[in-house]
Structure 1
Amino acid sequence: MTRDEFILHLRESSLIALKFAEHFVKDKLTTDFKYNVILNASNDDLNFNQFDFYQEDNGIIKLNLIDIEVIDLLYRKNKVPVWININVLKSSRKSTTFNLLCAGRFTDNKEEFYYNNKIGSTPFGIKSPELPIDYSQGKKFSL
């Protein structure tokens, strides 16, 4: 995946995740996006030599990034995490913030991605906002 493709996938996935979240939340979600990135969220077997691993990323969380900062962080040696879960976390009058929960395995092989699809979100998996404990299906909630 090229850097430009990765940027397009991040932006497209963000829009899809925003539209999906609108089914759940009362909040007005804007298209000025911020991102919180949680690195190495997978429990990886380091013996898989088809992947790159970055053990120094363990426990690292980067907050309030813009899209280009996300790309700078996650696009490494022409490789990206094999999966990145994206969901709306919060909103303000000025921006919508997403969580990006990232695998610790990096690849340039599209066959290794968990979320191989044709809607433009690979390697991103679109997830719902975190549902409240008392969530009732069909009832919208505030973030």
Structure 2
Amino acid sequence: MTETRDFHLGDILTITTEFMVTPNGVDGIYQILNWMTGDNLFTHQLPRATRECAPDLLRQHPDLAAVTVPAFGDDEREVWAWLDEQVRRYGETRPVAPLHPDGHTRIDPLTELRMIAPHVPVIGVEIPPTTEETNHA
């Protein structure tokens, strides 16, 4: 049996609709995508992981495919009122299983950054081990 973890509906809808409706902010996005991919994603990797995870989330919860996000005005309260309505309709949390290992491509974060933005200089910094780390080695 596949292990699952419960996530807020807003976290799931943020991935499936690509609209930021998570009450947990960017932390909610990191949590669900890291859980599903088994990775420790960097910010620039979130869009790719979203594209990998969204179809599987809709496979796990096909009823959520019917959810469409309306055009909101400038009032953030509209977003939260809409999300509250979705929570009443679909439930506050849903169990989410990780992707199959073949469902996520692991790419070194610096390599991926160079792929996305080859013109951006990437400067590596070597941090020497602390005395405590050296003593435990």
Higher helix share: 2
Asked whether the two chains share a fold, i.e. TM above 0.5, the reply is no
Of structures 1 and 2, the larger Rg is shown by 2
Normalised TM-score (structure 2) = 0.29
* Structure with more strand by fraction: 1
Instruction: Give TM-score scaled by structure 1 length.
Output: 0.28
